[in-house]
Structure 1
Amino acid sequence: MTGYLVRRVGQMGLTLFLIITLTFFLVEAQPGDYASFYVLNPDLPPDVKEKIRAAFGLDKPLWQQYLIHLKNTFTGNFGVSFGHFPRPVMDVLAERIPRTLVLFLTATAASFYLGFFLGKAIAWRRGGLFEYVATISGATLFTAFTPAFALMMIWIFAFRLDWFPLWGNSCIGGLALDILKHMVLPVATLTLISFAGTMLLTRNSMLETIREDYVMAARAKGLPERQVRDRHAARNAMLPVVTSLVYSLIFAIDGSVIIEGVFSWPGTGMTLLSAVRSEDLPLVMGAMLFIGCCRCWLT
């Protein structure tokens, strides 16, 4: 166990190092630099522009900037956001991360529950119309193009039916009911496009479990079918399904930019998108590092 833990920590450390390195060089590869936000004024003398660049350490060679970046990252110093948020990057992320976690943890829990419920139902009554409808519907939604499907949900339920608000920005500092109203559509979208994986995995696991002797013994005792299904077959079929729950969290966090961007949900994904548009490089690096660290930790 000790050896496994050492190897696991080493793998996580190496992955984190690669994420930091790739993020740094990808950001540095694009036109402009940190000082561009301050030197756009054409009236600034050249010597003032050079002093601004020197104040940010941009007059140093790239390898020195990289070492400084590593040091600042491992000490938790991500700098100051230069875009719409004239605040430290850590303060901006600390405000946005809980919103992302609430949204995607809720959607993942709803998707898991729906997929597990449907999976055990279609496995117990295999071959019926319900199985074909659930399987085809789940597979169709799973292969749907996420941005188009999200826009369709907004058009139907927010624009045409006017059941939910069109935009998500008002949930900043809003009341609990207002936040819940803005969460319904993104949570529903994430649930509908991702429940099929849990459903099919539960179905396959249930089909193996119902052939076991203890399930036949429970039926021979005369127990109700629902009790045999839920207490004997479904509970033992949950192990691979619960394991897949962790991986579903990874893909949920990876898709935060798309969902939060479409629904204007003020989380880390929306923050990253806004930072890229405004060339807010420190905030881009901080948001990408958070998403990469989450993926590294969950895997």
Structure 2
Amino acid sequence: MTNYLAKRAGQMVLTLFLIVTLTFFLVQAQPGDYATFYALNPDLPAEVRAQIKESFGLDKPLWEQYLIHMKNTFTGNFGVSFGHFPRPVIEVLAERLPRTAVLFLTATAASFYIGFFLGKAIAWRRGGVLEYAATISGATLFTAFTPAFGLMMIWIFAFKLGWLPVGKFLDPLHMILPIVTLTLISFAGTMLLTRNSMLETMREDYVMAARAKGLPEKVVRDRHAARNALLPVVTSLVYSLIFAIDGSVIIEAVFSWPGTGMTLLDAVRSEDLPLVMGAMMFIGLFSLLAHVIVDVLYVYLDPRIRYQ
């Protein structure tokens, strides 16, 4: 495993290098002068603009700008976000990432627990009322139009019933509505994936052997069938956490949640390119880490898997 992780670390560095390179040249290829977005903000003093242009090589040829950009990126200098008064990009991301992480980690954990519990239950007792009710309700919620469903939740529980507050990031109560909305929308994917994976593992020889030994049904279900059914479910869980970082625009916009989704949306609208490029760097890094985490979890969940 140590050799494998060292090899994957080298692959991650190379892939991250390609991501940063591609992002840099894509931004350079867009219409307009790239330097104007960085340093020609009329609200900045002339000496500050000159210092920024010199720091990031905006007055130099493209190849020199690229080398300076790579050096700055891999030393943690992602530039200045002029859409935030101005502030260093790393400060903006450090402020917004925890908000998105808290929201989506909580919702993902809740949806995973509910989905996995229901998935193994309906697979173990096929054809019952529970299977039909869970499948129909889960599939309906999973295919719901997220903005409309989120606004409906706000209208019912915040405006009509007055049970919950809504808007901004003020206190823990403001997390309830977005977390409940995300959980209701997301649990069906885990439930159906667990069900299908359980149905496959239940036909394996080791499950039949466990039953033949006279083990209790709960032990056969949880320790033999459900544990091996976890492999594709865990893969989906880890990847969903990573994609939530940049795919959270809709839910954060509906609930006015100032996380990375809203930050990226605002950055694109205001052409805040340093912030966009810094966010892309972090998203790429988290995506690469997700692949490594999945590989390690595979070995833990299935000891038969070995990496060279």
What displacement does 1:26 show?
Answer: 3.2
Which amino acid in 2 is paired with 1:143? T
Question: What is the alpha-carbon distance in structure 2 between the residues aligned to residue 156 and residue 81 of structure 1?
Answer: 38
1:115: how far off?
Answer: 0.5
State the alpha-carbon separation in 1 of the partners of residues 177 and 188 from structure 2: 18
Work out which structure has the larger RCO, using CA pairs closer than 8 Å and 6 or more positions apart in sequence: 1
Q: Is the 8 A contact 1:81 1:283 kept in 2?
A: yes
Show the counterpart of 2:208.
213
Give the deviation of 1:167 after TM superposition.
Answer: 1.0
What SS does structure 2 have at the residue aligned with 1:163?
Answer: coil
- Kept in 2, the 8 Å contact 1:271–1:287? The answer is no
CA distance in 1, matches of 2:49, 2:190: 56
- Gaps of at least 5 residues in structure 1 are 172-177
Contact 1:115 1:202 in 2 (8 A): yes
Distance 1:274 1:38, change over 3 A: same
Q: Cα deviation per residue 1:11-48 (whole Å; 9 max; x = unaligned)?
A: 32232122212322333315454545764659x9xx99
Aligned to 1:298: 290
**Kept in 1: contact 2:39–2:52 (CA 8 A):** no
Q: C-alpha displacement at 1:54, in angstroms?
A: 4.6
Listed as ranges, the gaps of 5+ residues in structure 2 are: 292-308
Spell out, residue by residue over 1:90-147, the C-alpha distance to the aligned partner (whole angstroms, 9 max, x if none). Answer: 1222222211211111111111101011101211221122212211222232233333
Deviating runs (4+, > 6 A) in structure 1? 47-50
> 5 Å matches for 1:140-219?
140-168=140-168, 170-171=169-170, 178-179=171-172, 181-211=173-203, 212-217=207-212
Q: Tell whether the 8 Å contact from 1:103 to 1:183 is kept in structure 2 after alignment.
A: yes
**Matched residue count:** 285
Aligned-partner Cα distance in 2 for 1:285–1:192: 32
- Equivalent positions of 1:252-291 (< 5 A) are 252-291=244-283
Where does 1:1-299 land on structure 2 (aligned, <5 Å)? 1=1, 4-28=4-28, 29-31=30-32, 33-36=34-37, 39=40, 41=42, 54-55=53-54, 57-168=57-168, 170-171=169-170, 178-179=171-172, 181-211=173-203, 212-217=207-212, 220=214, 223=216, 226=218, 229-230=221-222, 233-299=225-291
Please give the alpha-carbon distance, in whole angstroms, between the structure 1 residues aligned to 2:167 and 2:26: 31
In structure 2, distance between residues paired with 1:21 and 1:140:
42
Given that 1:215 and 1:233 are in contact with CA atoms closer than 8 Å, whether structure 2 keeps it comes out as no
Contact kept? 2:38, 2:274, Cα under 8 Å: no
On the 8 A contact 1:123/1:203 being kept in 2, the answer is yes
Change (3 A) 1:288 1:249: same
Length-normalised TM-score, structure 1: 0.81
